[in-house]
Structure 1
Amino acid sequence: MPQNSIQVCDIFNVWGIDFMGLFLSLRGNKYIIVAVDYLSKWVEAKALLTNDARVVCKFLKSLFASFGTPRAIISDHGTHFYNDQFAKVMLKYGITHRLATAYHPQTSRQVEVSNRGLKRILERIVDENHASWSDKLDDALWAFRTAFKTLIGCTP
């Protein structure tokens, strides 16, 4: 069955979301939720205690308040993204939810690339005590956002 592609024409219209984790932090956080705009490559991320549907929906509502409601959200089949609560938020805001599959991994490629980049930066800026990563997340986001992106020819 052919995959229907999503045309990315406007900034902040298509976001990919994913979780990074399981990390231990001084503040008790274990996960990072990451969202990346597919056109500008702008990344938003937040350190979280859990990776359940409730925190995902709260994060998305905050994202929508800052950047507007997108046309589509792309995620994997994780239970935190593939559930009734998440589906209700997508329906309420009129957002198409696209699920990446193992047979078509390039669907979620952008968020996976961002995850690797953010993790690499975090590894470089945390001190010997790797549990301080959640305190350094904002610094890592700044570094990631201000880095030149060859694909778009500028910084996000």
Structure 2
Amino acid sequence: MGESFGDSKYILVLKDHASHYCELVVADTADSSVTVEALLAWHARFGVPPTWISDQGSHFKNEVVAELSRRLRTQQEFTPAYCPWINGSVERVNRDILQVIRTMILEYKINHTDWPYLMPMVQASVNHTAEPSLGNKAPVELFTGLPCLTPLREFYLPDAGELKEDKRLKQRLLNKKRERGENVINFTEGDYVLRSRVDEKSGNKLLVTWVGSYRVLRADAHSFLIQHLITGAELDVHASRLKFYADASLDVTEELREHISSQGIVLAIEKLKEHRWSDQIRDYEVLVQWKGLEAIEDSYEPLTSLARDVPVLVTKYVATADQGLQEHW
């Protein structure tokens, strides 16, 4: 999952294949002890599943978990190596978890390192959301056999069925155009688009995949010139990296600007200024001057994170630093 303000770095996902009910266990390490404790906690509340299915990671395939399986009289099965699609049910919920976390980080305007505190709400969201594959039932309803209450139960949308059918029809037409190889670009100059972040090596899976919106300034033969609404930066981007957001009549409100500002824009480092020891993270923090920002916006960042993102710059800084930092490095 990436770094947090504490020691937590991983999420262990336990999922019931029949009902799609899942539990999310935040962990500091990915080892057999975490797996065993999670399985025993599940067993204490719901009983032991007859079969465990997992990949062949060392935290699943080991003597400790095998001994627990033997004592609980369960069958342990493993999916083939390098074949994650075979365990597609868990892979799908992993994508859902990331999407919910990204949305909540934007909505609550919190730092991405606070993700462990969101996990109870993420688990509730995943388990209480009705799925078409389950007959429009929520996983928790099928798993417990109890009715699932929702905050939306008081809302009545008389045209909801027509809107869903219209959306399905538009998606089918779009898919047919793609199959025929037709041009599916549905925006032009003056419109607003979202840009894929796939080309940025940010290394943070909790950042949203589509950022923006951007305003389309010019349409070229094979790309579009777009402008960021906050920074004013202009980018030349291929059409495959863009997605329609709104037409030219969009009212760019302060709320929209605030939403764009909280998407985690990847900044460039001007220089590393000084460092200090942090007892909270048990690591050095380096004061970073960001390119294009004011001095008051300088911030302390963990040395480990900076070393992963800009190793050459960090190595040069450490070489000129005091002996304590050099010994730690």
**TM-score for both structures, normalised by structure 1:** 0.82
Contact 1:74 1:107 in 2 (8 A): no
Q: Distance in 2 between matches of 1:78 and 1:102?
A: 9
Equivalent of 1:118, from 68, 75, 97?
A: 97
CA RMSD of aligned residues (A): 1.4
User: Which residue of 39, 55, 59 corresponds with 1:76?
Assistant: 55
Distance 1:104 1:129 in 2: 34
Question: What's 2:157 paired with?
Answer: none
Give 1:5-154 correspondences, 5 Å limit: 21=1, 23-102=2-81, 105-126=84-105, 127-153=109-135, 154=137
Cα drift, residue 104 of structure 1: 5.6
Deviation at 1:137, TM superposition (A): 0.5
Task: Kindly indicate whether structure 1 or structure 2 has the higher relative contact order, using CA contacts under 8 Å at least 6 residues apart.
Answer: 1
Identity rate of aligned residues, in percent?
A: 27
Structure 1 stretches lacking a partner, 5+ long: 1-20
AA in 2 matched with 1:114: V
The number of residue pairs the alignment matches comes to: 135
Tell me the residue number matched to 1:155.
Answer: 138
Cα deviation, 1:72-114, whole Å, max 9, x if unaligned, reads 0100000000000010001010111110114764541111111
| Partner secondary structure for residue 13 of structure 2 | strand
TM value normalised by structure 2: 0.40
Q: Is the 8 A contact 2:13 2:22 kept in 1?
A: yes
Aligned partners of 2:68, 2:132: CA distance in 1, in Å? 34
Give the Cα–Cα distance (whole angstroms) in 1 for the partners of residues 70 and 124 of structure 2: 32
CA distance in 2, matches of 1:103, 1:50: 22
Write out the 4+ residue segments of structure 1 that deviate beyond 3 Å after TM superposition.
102-107
Cα distance per residue 1:105-145 (max 9 Å; x no partner): 45411111111111110111123410010000001111111
Q: Distance in 2 between matches of 1:65 and 1:37?
A: 15
Please say which structure displays the higher CA radius of gyration: 2
- Give secondary structure in 1 for the equivalent of 2:77: strand
Distance 2:116 2:82 in 1: 33
